[in-house]
A and B are shown apart, each in its own frame.
Chain A
Amino acid sequence: MKNILENINKAFDHRVRLAIMSVLSVNESIDFNSLKELLGVTDGNLASHIKALEKENYISVEKQFIGKKPNTRYKSTPSGKKAFREHIEALEQLLQNE
């Protein structure tokens, strides 16, 4: 049991964090509001999960201005992409093992 769960990444154990990584694996980058609408979560909730992923160095943040409005975009880092891929592979393996 422990062996199988070895590659299951604790950082992705929460639904919202997993969702953020899923979105970033098929989109080059995404801004805060689009991500919020897509996941249907509150500002504070999303921000805290983003911070957690940022701390793990799985996503990078890019702040810019569109006109006068601040716009924050998120990208997954190479290490984030790798960790996410491994996590999914681990999930699939776990499900294959009866």
Chain B
Amino acid sequence: MFIRENAITLNFKELFNMTKEKYLNDLKDIKQLMNRSSQFLSLSGLSGILAGIYAIIGAVIVYYLIHAHPYPVITLESRTFTFILLTTSGVLLASVLTAVLLSKAKAKRHGDQIWGESSKRMLINFLIPLVTGGLFILLLLKHQYYGLIAPVMLIFYGMACVNASKYTLRDLRYLGITEIILGLLATEFPGNSLYFWAVGFGFSHILYGTIMYFKYDRNQPA
């Protein structure tokens, strides 16, 4: 009698543990799906590092262009300005292309799609502040507030990152805040725009790209 009762308790306990295991897995699944469905998790850390390197190369080229310019003032019609514009466009294009290609590869590795509801949502929220900033810069150019262009780029890019961070890896939020602070500092210290620009778009990207790379990409099974 005593033994039988014991056996029943044991079975009951085993059953209970099995149920517990199942529910524990359920909770894990719930959490994972909530993240995967609401956030774009395939953002590549490596692309951040590369974008930072492109930006530094771009900043160095611009530095030499400015120093090679024969007059103290660079006008919109000058060749130097055209070259500066080409360099920055090149940096932007290369960065976007790298980000798309590497994120696509990462999504493929994880069996995710790069163009889904989550990436769409992230992109829209990223683009709203960014396009606003772009238009703002065009207006600044038109009204000849050249000194404010680099700070405005940093500030609006930072706000775009903060805004998009709600729909992707949280690290983007800290990159955004860093850019905003650098943008404000660049406004306070005009004349050093290029350095702030190099730190903001160069070093910050490399720093946060590296953090993201080690946090999410490196240890993931291929």
Contact surface of A with B, Cβ cutoff 8 Å: 1, 8, 15, 18-19, 22-23, 25-27, 30-31, 34, 37-40, 88, 91-92, 94-95
CB of B20 within 8 A of CB of A94, answer yes
Query: How many of chain B's residues touch chain A, expressed as a range?
Result: 10 to 19
Chain B residues contacting A27 (CB-CB under 8 Å) are 37-38, 117
Q: Which of B16, B29, B113 contacts A18 (CB 8 A)?
A: B29
Chain B residues contacting A8 (CB-CB under 8 Å) are 23
Chain A residues contacting B111 (CB-CB under 8 Å) are 40
Chain B residues contacting A91 (CB-CB under 8 Å) are 23, 26-27
Bound Cα distance from A31 to B118, whole angstroms: 12
Chain A residues contacting B24 (CB-CB under 8 Å) are 95
- Nearest 7 A/B pairs, CB to CB: A26-B38, A23-B37, A22-B30, A22-B33, A26-B34, A91-B23, A34-B117
Q: Which of A15, A30, A34 contacts B29 (CB 8 A)?
A: A15
CB distance from B40 to the nearest CB of A (A): 13
Q: Which of B27, B116, B117 contacts A95 (CB 8 A)?
A: B27
Query: Which chain B residues (1-42) contact chain A, with CB distance < 8 Å?
Result: 12, 16, 19-20, 23-24, 26-27, 29-30, 33-34, 36-38
Number of residue pairs across A and B with beta carbons under 8 Å?
51
CB of A34 within 8 A of CB of B116, answer yes
Bound Cα distance from A92 to B113, whole angstroms: 32
Query: Which chain B residues (78-137) contact chain A, with CB distance < 8 Å?
Result: 111, 113, 116-117
Given A18-B30, A22-B29, A88-B30, A30 and B23 contact (CB-CB distance below 8 Å)? no
Bound Cα distance from A29 to B23, whole angstroms: 26
CB of B34 within 8 A of CB of A22, answer yes
Offer 24 A-B interface pairs, CB within 8 angstroms, sorted by A: A1-B16, A8-B23, A19-B29, A22-B30, A22-B33, A22-B34, A23-B34, A25-B34, A26-B37, A26-B38, A27-B37, A27-B38, A27-B117, A31-B117, A34-B116, A37-B116, A38-B33, A38-B36, A39-B33, A91-B23, A91-B26, A94-B19, A95-B20, A95-B27
Bound Cα distance from A95 to B116, whole angstroms: 34
Bound Cα distance from A91 to B24, whole angstroms: 8
Q: Which of B12, B27, B33, B34 contacts A92 (CB 8 A)?
A: B27
Chain A residues contacting B117 (CB-CB under 8 Å) are 27, 30-31, 34
Bound Cα distance from A23 to B36, whole angstroms: 9
CB of B113 within 8 A of CB of A37, answer yes
Chain B residues contacting A26 (CB-CB under 8 Å) are 34, 37-38
Given A27-B117, A37-B116, A94 and B23 contact (CB-CB distance below 8 Å)? yes
Q: Select from chain A the residue with minimum beta-carbon distance to B21.
A: A95
Q: Would you give the 0/1 interface string for B198-211, flagging 1 where the beta carbon is closer than 8 Å to chain A?
A: 00000000000000
